[in-house]
A and B are shown apart, each in its own frame.
Chain A
Amino acid sequence: MAQRSLTWRRAAVIAGRDLRSAPGKFVFVVLSVAVGVAALVGVRGFSESFRSTLTREARSLMAGDLSARTNQQPSNAELQKIESLKGRGIHSTWVTETISMASVPPDPVPILVSLKAVDPAEYPYYGKAELEPDIPLATALTDNSVVVAEEFLIRLKAKVGDTLRLGGHNFRISARLVQEPDRITAGAGLGPRVLISRAALDETNLLAPGSRAGERLLIQLPTTLQTAAQLATVRKQVEAMLPEAQVMDFREGNPALTEGLDRATAILSLICLVAMVLGAIGVAMSMHAHLDQRMDVLAILKAIGAGSGDLLRIFLLQTMGLGLAGAILGVAAGAGVMLALPAVFGNLLPVHATLAFPWRSALAGLATGLLTTLLFCLPPLLDVRQVRPILVLRRMVEQAEESGFIAFLRRWGQRKLQIAAAFVILIALTAIAAALSDSAQVGVWFGAALAAILFVLLLLSAGFLRLLRWLLKIVRLHLPQYLRQGLANLYRPGNQSAAVLAALGTGVMLILAVYLMQSQVLREIQETASPKLPNIFLVDITTDEVAGMKQFFKTQPGVQDQLELIPVISGRFVSLNGVPLEKLKVEHFPRRMLESVSLSWADAVPDGDKIRQGKWWSDPNAHQIAVGEGIAQRIHVGVGSAVEVEVNGKQLPLTVSAIFRADEQHISGRSGFLLPSGLLKDAPAVWYGAARVDSKQISLIERALFSAFPTVTVINLADVLDRIEGVVRQITFVVRFLAGFSIFAGLMILASSIASTRFRRTREAVVLKTLGATRWRIIRIFSVEFSVLGLLAGTVGAIFANLLTRVLLRKLEAQWHFEWRATLIALIGTAFLAVATGWLASYRILGLRPLEVLREE
């Protein structure tokens, strides 16, 4: 017997004509696919553009070819070595960054600013500092003028031309800083930016020896030294000249930023993948309903000799066609999402990315959309094998389904291929998640977690529906007709209520979980500002100012707890346990951190610290050292270990006499290395202080401190918490924006499910009208159905969101509190959205005349 099968061309004709016969039904299907693809392409496209910008403008973003970052002021010898590079045409300039206090007289209230001192004749080597008015930087930065960021002007209600007071000196604000080329390389500051010339900074005495300031050397190579090999050579030379500095070239960009970008892209991509999976589930549900409705055609085809392969071919082409249409639409929408993301990210991004059409991400999004659509549609497509051609002889008595557990097992036994398909889907989902997140482990966790959540949500949804059905059985006759019918409609044949609930519930769960996490994390942050802890911190107090500072806090009104002070002296470790530092292999504690450490002294155990091992010295000149517990474990030292430390050019051989644990509620925790006072008293020290003051008096105290000690920086914890809160809110806004795509996917599933039962709904409406029901009654009946679906989905999602939040908070060792308001808003909001979507998908039913429909039959 010659065996042939349907050609792909013929299958495509049948598939295409079938699609065109009911185009409206498939609109929501296409949108379901488009949603996930749009989100993914938007996120990854933005990341792609951002990376391209970082690469293309690498030199500008560094403002040089090379940069060397150190936390110590360079020694004269080091400065001379750097100067020697000039002979080869290599230019260099130092940039100093620190924090300080500044005010705008006559208002004495200062704010914390992020100070950056540059040589305007050199800086920047690449890129441009954009100012307003548009004047050269060398003109704007003189010995008595500064440039400030807009935030400074807003916060202090100042304008260009006003006076700024800094470090006890007055400066004229000559321009507003619009764009700083190397802002991201410099890092985010605690306050608004103030640019000052290096000469002017020197005048202020803000930088005493040991002051907390970052130094960055920028290097520009001549055109004759631009090859990669030459760049590498110069880099090695600079590393040798500044052994304690972190040297980077422009090609590395900003590793912290790119790592952060990669991590954020991975997490956000996974959130988008949830939307894509929900979209694919929607397509699968629609395809299932569609095949149900096409049973007669399937039966005819089988009756005239089509095999399952032929039928699969037709509907596979349909699925891929819908998937492709959705994916293409999604790519186009994704470009729109990409354009919107900079606004969504807001101030989180330190640089403006130049956006271009993201070809690579578009292709990846297209492929992912098609693949997920195809995979999730496999189970319903495989069902075509079960179609019985006997259905064409409708007068045949249908074989009733067997019931019972054995029959249930037998039915599932016949679905081996579908079960295998489910496993394939899970594996593929895991692989896609792994590819998006660049981590196999994350992929596995994501795949397993998503599958588990969807499964449990489905069970929960089915359970709720069962419960409702049981309740309805008891009370149905006592309910008003519209309510009774609306609820009964949830069980209409062809309704996929449980699956719709699970899908919509997933979207609600995601959004609500993000919101709850944000709320609880912020509450936790607020609660860490306990009434017992210091709420202002003082930085860069010189030794000469210590006595005056103590007196100030003794007499100043509003001070609740006395000032705690700690001296900090810069030093470096030379050896540990006899091993020189350069030969040391220490895991999880970069050697660089031992090359520049903050030391302090205390002749008795500081307040709040507890000795864990050993004992404290009694002799202030003993060659001993106490090490914080965490650090001691990481660098493998214990009581009795021998270490060598260099301070102020002097080598100190020391023995570890005590291991201590700081309670983190006192300033003494600032330093992990404490020595007897006799060894460090003569070394240049910078003091840090902390105090608890009445929050209403903080601005008065800041004003008084600024007046008496203009070079001391005051950090108000409330301001810091505000800034952190701002960042947390911005981040969660981004996540919620993308999680919103999941809600949209869930709503598309709802709409698609409603559209696929349109025929039954139409008949129902027509019969009701024939029996005398008004339009308003029909509206009420369907609205009950949609709103109950939405409420149930919201309930399911809210339960899971709270569970998920509770689990995550436990991992973060934070408390969980039930948030009534947010949960209620989620419930009502989902119900509202469900009603709106339901009516969007079925409003035309209201306008149909009974005879029109009945005549068609």
Chain B
Amino acid sequence: MIEVRGVRKWIQNGTRRVEILKGIDISIPSGQFVAIVGASGSGKSTLLGLLAGLDTPSEGEIWLDGTPIHNLEEEALSAVRGQKLGFVFQSYQLIPTLTALENVLLPFELNLPGNGINRARKLLEQVGLAERMDHYPVQLSGGEQQRVALARAFIVEPPIVMADEPTGNLDTVNGQRVLELLLSRNNLAGTTLVLVTHDPQVAALAHRKIVLRDGLVVEDILSAESAQVPMAAQGLANGGVR
């Protein structure tokens, strides 16, 4: 469950205050797939960053799975991010000096006890990269790198996955593949999925669409299937993209 109450975000540019978010109140139940859409400069990436604990709001409260994160110190926020969140970036953001397997393993090593190698291997197999585990990011294509990033986001089995334009730098085929993987995680594991996108087709797949304009929520539309959250495995279990 993600709760956002009266969140505002501004930055000080010299003597001028630039308001990015002007008061956001939303509540995302567990297992919901939410697409945040809006034009450039609408504040959607800022909102995602706040929800992910990558930044702190100037005003308001954010609760992540029962934990207030709006006033946590950075060290505590790191721990929350590591254990409750998986994050997928538009430009993959893999560590260039680690192999695909090591990149996937990293959040596990940072946050969970035990040996996660088997889990990491299995995830890479699931994303279709069984033969590329020992490759470095520079040796992988864009689509492959994003799939590694997905596997990394999933390894700690976080209750929440956030993605910032995950298909933005991919061609159509790879984009589809990445979306399938995200959706199946949402459908099969009941992971809450919050996704920022420009793409209306991607947004259309979501249970709920939140439209931002000028730092405010102007639309908050639930799709017809939102009442069946978490999504029934049957609908997408065969992996078809609607």
Contact = CB atoms under 8 A, between A and B. Distances in A.
Nearest to A11: B109
B18 A397 contact: yes
Interface string A375-389: 000000000010011
Interface in B144-162: 152, 156
A393 B45 contact: yes
Q: Most chain-A CB neighbours within 10 Å: which of B11, B78, B94, B156? A: B78
Contact of B79 (A305, A393, A403): A305
B58 to A, nearest CB: 10
B102 to A, nearest CB: 8
B228 interface: no
A6 B109 contact: yes
Q: Most chain-B CB neighbours within 10 Å: which of A7, A304, A393? A: A304
A400 B12 contact: yes
Given A17-B98, A388-B55, A393 B89 contact: yes
Contacts of A555: none
Interface stretch (A59-67, A306-314, A606-614): A306-314
A1 interface: yes
Nearest to A19: B97
A392 B97 CA distance: 17
A303 B103 CA distance: 13
A417 B82 CA distance: 25
Contact of A303 (B12, B93, B97, B112): B93
Interface in B9-43: 11-14, 18, 20
Given A4-B113, A21-B96, A400 B14 contact: yes
Given A310-B110, A400-B13, A390 B93 contact: no
B192 interface: no
A306 B97 contact: no
B109 A7 contact: yes
Interface string A286-305: 00000000001100111111
B112 A4 contact: yes
Nearest to B106: A304
A397 B82 contact: no
B49 A305 contact: no
Contact of B12 (A4, A300, A301, A402): A402
A471 interface: no
Contact of A1 (B12, B79, B164): B79
B184 interface: no
Nearest to B97: A17
Interface in B24-80: 45-46, 48-49, 52, 54-55, 74-75, 78-80
Contact of A390 (B49, B78, B97): B49
Contacts of B208: none
B130 interface: no
B63 to A, nearest CB: 15
A10 interface: yes
B111 interface: yes
B47 to A, nearest CB: 11
Contacts of A547: none
B81 A399 contact: no
A399 B12 contact: yes
B140 interface: no
Contacts, number: 110
A4 B75 contact: no
Contacts of A392: 54, 89, 93
Contact of B78 (A13, A297, A305): A305
Contact of A389 (B14, B45, B54, B79): B54
A812 interface: no
Contacts of A6: 109-110
Interface string B86-105: 01010101111110001000
Nearest to A311: B78
A595 to B, nearest CB: 74
Interface in A385-443: 385, 388-390, 392-400, 402-403
Contact of B11 (A1, A5, A399): A399
B83 interface: yes
A394 B45 CA distance: 10
A301 B82 CA distance: 10
Contacts of A308: 74-75, 78
A807 to B, nearest CB: 46
A18 interface: yes
Contacts of B49: 390, 393, 396
B100 to A, nearest CB: 14
Contacts of A390: 49, 54-55
A300 B91 CA distance: 11
A13 B95 CA distance: 12
Given A296-B93, A392-B54, A395-B45, A305 B11 contact: no
B107 interface: yes
Given A14-B95, A14-B97, A14-B98, A303 B87 contact: yes
A2 B46 CA distance: 29
Given A5-B110, A306-B82, A402-B12, A301 B95 contact: yes
Given A14-B97, A400-B14, A304 B109 contact: no
B93 A4 contact: no
A3 interface: yes
A391 to B, nearest CB: 9
A300 B93 contact: yes
Nearest to A403: B14
A572 to B, nearest CB: 79
The 10 A-B residue pairs whose C-beta atoms are closest, nearest first, are A305-B82, A17-B97, A390-B55, A390-B54, A300-B93, A399-B11, A389-B54, A307-B78, A305-B110, A304-B107
22 contacts: A1-B79, A2-B83, A4-B110, A4-B111, A7-B109, A13-B98, A14-B95, A14-B97, A17-B98, A21-B96, A300-B93, A300-B94, A300-B95, A301-B106, A303-B52, A303-B54, A305-B78, A305-B111, A308-B78, A390-B54, A390-B55, A402-B12
Given A303-B52, A389-B54, A396-B55, 12 more contacts: A4-B112, A6-B109, A17-B97, A20-B97, A21-B97, A303-B93, A307-B75, A307-B79, A388-B55, A390-B55, A396-B45, A400-B11
